[in-house]
Structure 1
């Protein structure tokens, strides 16, 4: 049986694990309905206040108006939109539906890596509506602007919005050790992020591996030239393996139906 299949799948698995690790580092740990913290820092929507701060914003069709308040519940129109975070009203004001409550807020990550907040609410008829707000950082926008896309054509009762604001930016450098007894002016240090620590450990390990390997190759095995590089044969094959792995990914992880002749 061909052994190349296992080699290619190993490379593909390594690439997928790298993407998964990056995604895990970027995920935001929620702290209440308005705040979350990741390796990039802290994102806090609390300063966005109003009743609501974004009111009667038209969707792309012009048929519906949406209001949104990320942190403070508001009431609009009929009793359906009472103490909500998001509300949908028809352009003629004849229909009103809740599309999310503040306490239902859940921070997550979009397919493009963006930070999103998802809200949900169930009306008196039992219909549950969901609002997904994508957060876009703009240091000059305070409180910011709300762009309402409207209902997802492929997912009924799901509504998409984009909030562009300075409060949608991450501040600091992520969670780290608290300030010492004398943090000095301006507070304590933000500390190192998880990603920074992993990079430092990786670089230090690689340096020790190369230095010790060269010393052993030259001192013990009396190697010279490129052979002083530890496991040179293995490392020289890595670029080719990566290339083959990428090509194999696009072809799909399918084995050959034939076997090598014995």
Structure 2
């Protein structure tokens, strides 16, 4: 026996409602979606579901704006995919500024513009068209999620009115490309070869030859002789004084030890 018709209808209605409630941004573009927009949207994945709030004052009224990146502000069954909502302080009145099922996204070198459309309609402005939220995400390498602020509400036109917000994030920054010069590559290769030579030679000398102490260093005799030659060359080239100098005191030579001629005093004797 089949299920009652009313039960089938309620189940279908619940399934339709569940499918109509989103948990992610839905890009607008018909059957074909832009690969570029999808790539930019994927860049915002670390901010997905993050909640931001900003406050502003208009006359004597205080307003609070609540924003979620590609997520709904309310998770109950009455949610209408609201992604950015305006609420008045001290009042229960709220207005949906934009919904995530009507998402547009544009990017530049160091910025991303996230647009939520299909908000609640204006009462007396912009020919009662639907509200639209535009969030400008600017590059800031110092923070993943900066402050969310209100820039302006443009509602003095007859159409295409919008709310403009801004925030900083490193996700809007271009990727940093690292290019190694030829000299850097050669230095890296040389350093690797030296490391392999020292480690491999040490292991060979220790475990194969059985050397101990300084003898474990590969080709220790060659490097010692090379060091001595380099020291001699530096000593020869860099010294400004002669290596030997005359002594301050003259040595006693054989000529100084010769017997002095005998002094005769015969001329003093009386004749």
| Greater relative CO (CA pairs within 8 A, separation 6+) | 1
TM over 0.5: no
Q: TM-score, normalised by structure 1?
A: 0.42
Q: Name the TM-score, length of structure 2 as normaliser.
A: 0.41
Q: Is the strand fraction higher in 1 or 2?
A: 1
